[in-house]
């Protein structure tokens, strides 16, 4: 979509014009008295020249003295007079010609016009120029007071464009596109809906996590429908002055009705659409007035004209129920994180303009980027292209894309941070502890990469696991195995060095969070069973959780969380003790190589049959 551009000139341009005009007036209307170049001197210099008889003529003009010297080409001087009663005698003794300048009478009407009327006319003209520019900037007409334009909507208007965004530019959201296709069809062919008596949905609310393409979908709808597209953020309605937000809503819908059929897109609508809780100033809160006006306008406009309201938010639970009822936002369209197939399609869309080598496997990249949003996938493709440029290559390889995943997830490699030999050895055992516990358990994701190169995110190393297939559900056994894998790093440190470090802080946080969720949210405890003990808000923004139980029950939950983590810790410790030989061998190999692939890890692990392997797997299954 191509945005309509408006000509703009900075205010400093008009101030410079005013200064130039005033300077010209100063030179044209206030000319020099003598019309000649005059040198200013002090009164003492003037008296010395008089005593030395170097002064030819003197003219007294009020508080100023103008005089010339006795050169062939006389120079003109100016000085200020003082209370000197002997001045006339001194000039007589020096033989100077002197007299007073005759003052021409000034017309009082002309003086008034030049002093008062002319400057006012100049600034009035400049004010008119500024008014026109302000009205253009605010979207107003050619007349009227610019300060009455504060209630005008400042929505960005995009016009029909053959090179705009369409559904072909959106991938991984097939369900959302299908729901929006009907709106596009109505804008194209409203007659077939009107014949049967159907009415187009007044509004559609796009909900989902950040970066999933809600704004992109809205622009694609306008691109497919070839209609004007109004785009405005919810925060732009909120003003310092009460009533300005409501006025902007009115003006926005007025413009939309004038350009119907069209699409109005309000991004981050939760800014003005929050639930009314009665905590405003006696119901006169600015946000509440803006919301009330929005509700009124959505009820008042005629949907048959083809005005469709699209809105996006990642906090649907905070919206006012009156905004979500049928007749306002009729459809709620989820725009979730893409699945495996969706991630692969998104990568292909963003890789259209990137030169790729023949060995790029988008499916492998999509599996490794599990849980990534569309924006993150776009960033991965761009990071891969930047890496190829840094290495002076003309195309992007599979290695570039794999490294870009790690860059987005864990940050860039910190090449200037060098670990001591002891720290490097501890990190090697720590990461192998994670990988070994994961590999020795069933129902665990395969290990694909292990590294001990520090990253800008603060991680000194990490172990990457990638699921072979897309998973939407996790069993209790899989969650317990995951907690055991998280504790594997600390177990390896304690087993080998008989000491523990701060390197497991993130592992501890994730293990605790996961074990608590098993009890309070997933109902995986024998004592509480299927009882909800925790409520979660803002699921699309990380999910803030709060316990909804008594203090006694909360204390019991804490004890159960500790017990679950300890059980998993003991299980991981036993697995490492039973396979301590492989722990040493793999840690030594990682220490030397710094980065190993999952294939190298599995080759070393299965190099020889070691005692207790079958027993270990049976125990892990139990």
Tell me: the pLDDT tens digits for 369-408? Answer: 888 889 999 999 999 999 999 999 999 999 999 888 888 8
Model confidence at 553: pLDDT above 80 = yes
The CATH T-level fold of domain 421-621 is Methane Monooxygenase Hydroxylase; Chain G, domain 1 (1.20.58)
Q: Which of 288, 344, 376, 431 is catalytic?
A: 431
Question: Percentage of the chain with pLDDT > 70?
Answer: 78
Among the ranges given (174-188, 348-362, 365-379, 558-572), the one the predictor scored with the smallest mean pLDDT: 174-188
The CATH T-level fold of domain 340-410 is Helicase, Ruva Protein; domain 3 (1.10.8)
Q: Any residues with CB less than 8 A from the CB of 605 and at least 6 apart, and which?
A: 436, 439, 582, 586
Domain map of the chain by residue range? 2-27+107-149, 34-100, 156-334, 340-410, 421-621
Claim: this prediction has a pTM higher than 0.75 = no
Quick one: pLDDT at residue 229? 84
Paired with 57 in beta bridges are: 68, 97
Strand order in the sheet with 76-80: 39-40, 76-80, 64-69, 55-61, 97-100
- CA–CA separation, 101 vs 347, rounded Å? 89
Pick the CATH number of 34-100 from 1.10.10.10, 3.40.50.280, 3.90.1150.10, 3.30.720.210: 3.30.720.210
Exposure pattern of 390-416 as b/e (b: 16+ CB <10 Å)?
A: eeeeeebbbebbbbbbbbbbbeebeee
Paired with 205 in beta bridges are: 311, 332
State the DSSP string of 437-505: HHHTSSS-PPEEEEE---BTTS-S-EEEE--SS--S---HHHHHHHHHHHHHHHHHHHHHHSS--GGGH
Is residue 592 annotated as part of the catalytic site, yes or no? Answer: no
40-60 pLDDT, tens digit each: 877 778 788 888 888 888 887
- CB-CB contact of 495 with 573 (8 Å): yes
Model confidence at 128: pLDDT above 80 = no
Q: Name the more confident of 119 and 192.
A: 192
Quick one: pLDDT at residue 435? 94
3-class SS of residue 196: helix
Output the average pLDDT for the chain.
80
pLDDT band at residue 509, thresholds of 50, 70 and 90?
very high
**pLDDT, mean of residues 126-146:** 56
Paired with 204 in beta bridges are: 310, 331
- CA–CA separation, 589 vs 184, rounded Å? 59
Paired with 99 in beta bridges are: 59
140-163 pLDDT, tens digit each: 444 444 444 445 555 666 555 444
The CATH T-level fold of domain 156-334 is Rossmann fold (3.40.50)
Among the ranges given (25-39, 458-472, 524-538, 553-567), the one the predictor scored with the smallest mean pLDDT: 25-39
């Amino acid at each position: 979509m191509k945005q309509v551009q408006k000509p703009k000139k900075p205010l400093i341009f008009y101030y410079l014009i005013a200064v130039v005009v005033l300077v010209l007036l100063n030179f044209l209307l206030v000319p020099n008295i003598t019309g000649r170049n005059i040198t200013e001197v002090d009164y003492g210099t003037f008296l010395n020249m008089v005593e030395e008889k170097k002064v030819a003529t003197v003219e007294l003009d009020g508080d100023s003295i103008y005089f010339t010297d006795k050169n062939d080409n006389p120079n003109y001087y100016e000085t200020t007079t003082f209370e000197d009663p002997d001045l006339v005698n001194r000039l007589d003794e020096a033989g100077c010609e002197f007299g007073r300048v005759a003052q021409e009478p000034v017309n009082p009407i002309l003086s008034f016009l030049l002093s008062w009327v002319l400057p006012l006319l100049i600034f009035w003209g400049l004010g008119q120029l500024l008014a026109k520019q302000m009205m253009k900037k605010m979207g107003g007409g050619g007349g009227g007071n610019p300060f009455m334009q504060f209630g005008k909507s400042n929505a960005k208007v995009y016009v029909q464009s053959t090179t705009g965004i369409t559904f072909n530019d959106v991938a991984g959201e097939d369900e959302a596109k299908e729901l929006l296709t009907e709106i596009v069809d109505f804008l194209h062919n409203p007659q077939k809906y009107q014949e049967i008596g159907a009415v187009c949905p007044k509004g559609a609310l796009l909900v989902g996590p950040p970066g999933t393409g809600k704004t992109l979908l809205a622009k694609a709808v306008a691109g497919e429908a070839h209609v004007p597209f109004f785009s405005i953020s919810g925060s732009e309605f909120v003003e310092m002055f009460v009533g300005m937000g409501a006025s902007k809503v009115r003006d926005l819908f007025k413009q939309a009705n004038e350009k119907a059929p069209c699409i109005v897109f309000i991004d981050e609508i939760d800014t003005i659409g929050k639930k009314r809780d009665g905590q405003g100033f006696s119901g006169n809160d600015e946000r509440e007035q803006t919301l009330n006006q929005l509700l009124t306008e959505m009820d008042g406009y005629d949907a048959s004209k083809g005005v469709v309201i699209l809105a996006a938010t990642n906090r649907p639970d905070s919206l006012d129920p009156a905004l979500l009822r049928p007749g306002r936002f009729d459809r709620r369209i989820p725009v979730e994180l893409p699945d495996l197939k969706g991630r692969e399609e998104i990568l292909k869309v963003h890789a259209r303009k990137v030169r790729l080598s023949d060995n790029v496997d988008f499916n492998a990249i999509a599996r490794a980027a599990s849980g990534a949003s569309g924006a993150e996938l776009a960033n991965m493709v761009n990071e891969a292209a930047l890496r190829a440029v840094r290495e002076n290559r003309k195309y992007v390889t599979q290695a570039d894309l794999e490294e870009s995943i790690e860059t987005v997830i864990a940050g860039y490699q910190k090449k200037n941070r060098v670990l001591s030999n002891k720290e490097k050895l501890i990190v090697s055992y720590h990461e192998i502890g994670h990988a070994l516990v994961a590999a020795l358990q069933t129902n665990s994701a395969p290990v694909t990469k292990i590294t001990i190169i520090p990253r800008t995110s603060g991680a000194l190393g990490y172990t990457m696991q990638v699921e072979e297939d897309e998973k939407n559900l996790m069993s209790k056994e899989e969650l317990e195995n995951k907690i055991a894998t998280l504790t594997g790093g600390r177990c390896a440190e304690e087993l080998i060095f008989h000491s523990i470090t701060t390197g497991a802080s993130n592992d501890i946080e994730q293990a605790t969070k996961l074990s608590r969720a098993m009890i309070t949210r997933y109902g995986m405890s024998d004592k509480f069973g299927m009882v909800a003990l925790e409520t979660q808000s803002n699921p699309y923004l990380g999910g803030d959780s709060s316990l909804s139980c008594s203090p006694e029950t909360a204390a019991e939950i804490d004890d159960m969380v500790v017990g679950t983590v300890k059980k998993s810790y003991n299980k991981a410790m036993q697995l490492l003790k039973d396979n301590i030989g492989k722990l040493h061998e793999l840690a030594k190999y990682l220490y030397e190589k710094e980065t190993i692939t999952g294939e190298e890890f599995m080759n070393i692990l299965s190099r020889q049959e070691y005692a207790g392997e079958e027993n270990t797997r049976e125990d892990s299954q139990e």
